[in-house]
Each structure stands twice: as structure tokens, then as C-alpha cells.
Amino acid sequence: MSENSFNDWNKSIIEEFRANGGKVGGPFEGGTLLLLTTKGAKSGKERVSPLAYTPDGDRFIIIASKAGAPTNPDWYHNLLAHPSATIEVGTEKFAVKPTVVLEEPERSQLYAKMVEKMPGFADYERKTTRKIPVVLLEKVN
């Protein structure tokens, strides 16, 4: 998928999410999806990424898988450069504090929670040689 068609696809998911109170169809139907808004690492512009998540108590687990690509996704680089973000879950929008989890065994335990809900994430791990980062998002009061 080219960069432009990927951006158009993301844009349509974002529009559908916002128009339907956080619900989308297609490959994400019935799944848990959130919108992560970050500040561009270089541009400083607001960037919105639709991401699968799984809850972990009050926290949200997201995975920097990029579908098993050899590099991390842009949103991950943005979070490292500007470690503050907002998420939209359903009709709620709030600030979150991201924590990157790379240490074992916690990283693998959190990744396994995502695989349990969405088995495709196991394929992403098999496709790449990089250690896919796991990010926990905690609501900021």
C-alpha cells in the first residue's frame, strides 16, 4: 500500500470512527479501536492514528507493530519525541501519558494480551526481526 493510499485509508477510518461513536466496520468491526493523537516528531503538527488496543485495568495497551514491518510506526517516533498525547475511545477524549515497555517479561505478557484478542499480532511478530515495542497509555487527570 502506497503512503498516500495508506493515509487515505486511515483518514476514512478516523472519519467513520468519529461519525459512529467509536465504531467502525470492515476489518476492524467488533474490535477495539482508539484514535491516538500525537505531535509530529519533526513537524510538530498534530497526527491522528487509528490503533487497535486492549485494556489493561485503567490502561490501554497499544503495539508498535506496523503490521510486522522492519521499522517502527511514525506514531511511535512521535511519542518518543513528544511524550504526551490524547486518545479517543468511543465518544470520550482525554490526555494520556505513554510508557514504553521493552523489558521482559512484562513486554511479552502485555503483547500476549493483545494476541489473545487479536491473533494477527502474533503474525506481525513472526514477520520481523525487530523487538516490537509495547506502549501503555494511562489517563492523565
pLDDT tens-place string over residues 75-101: 999 999 999 899 999 999 999 999 999
The pTM of this model reads: 0.89
In 21-129, DSSP assigns E strands to 33-39, 46-52, 54-56, 59-63, 85-89, 92-101
Angle among Cα 30, 64, 122 to the nearest 5 degrees reads: 65
Total residue length of the chain: 141
Q: What is the pLDDT of residues 33-84, one digit of tens each?
A: 999 999 999 999 999 999 999 999 999 999 999 999 999 999 999 999 999 8
**Which one is predicted more confidently, 27 or 107?**
107
Please report, as a single letter, which amino acid is at residue 66. K
Q: Residue 20 above 80 pLDDT?
A: yes
Determine the pLDDT at residue 6. Answer: 61
In the chain, what are the domain boundaries?
3-139
Determine the pLDDT at residue 3. Answer: 59
- Report the Cα 70 to chain-centroid distance in Å: 17
Determine the pLDDT at residue 2. Answer: 59
In this structure, whether the domain defined by 3-139 belongs to CATH 2.30.110.10 is answered with yes
Beta-carbon contacts of 52 under 8 Å, excluding residues fewer than 6 positions away, are 28, 31, 32, 33, 62, 63, 114, 118, 121
Average pLDDT, the chain: 91
Average pLDDT over residues 111-124: 94
Task: Give the best-scoring range by mean pLDDT among 4-13, 19-28, 88-97.
Answer: 88-97
Return the exposure string of 24-43: e unless at least 16 CB atoms fall within 10 Å of the residue's CB, then b. Answer: beeebeeebbbbbbbbebee
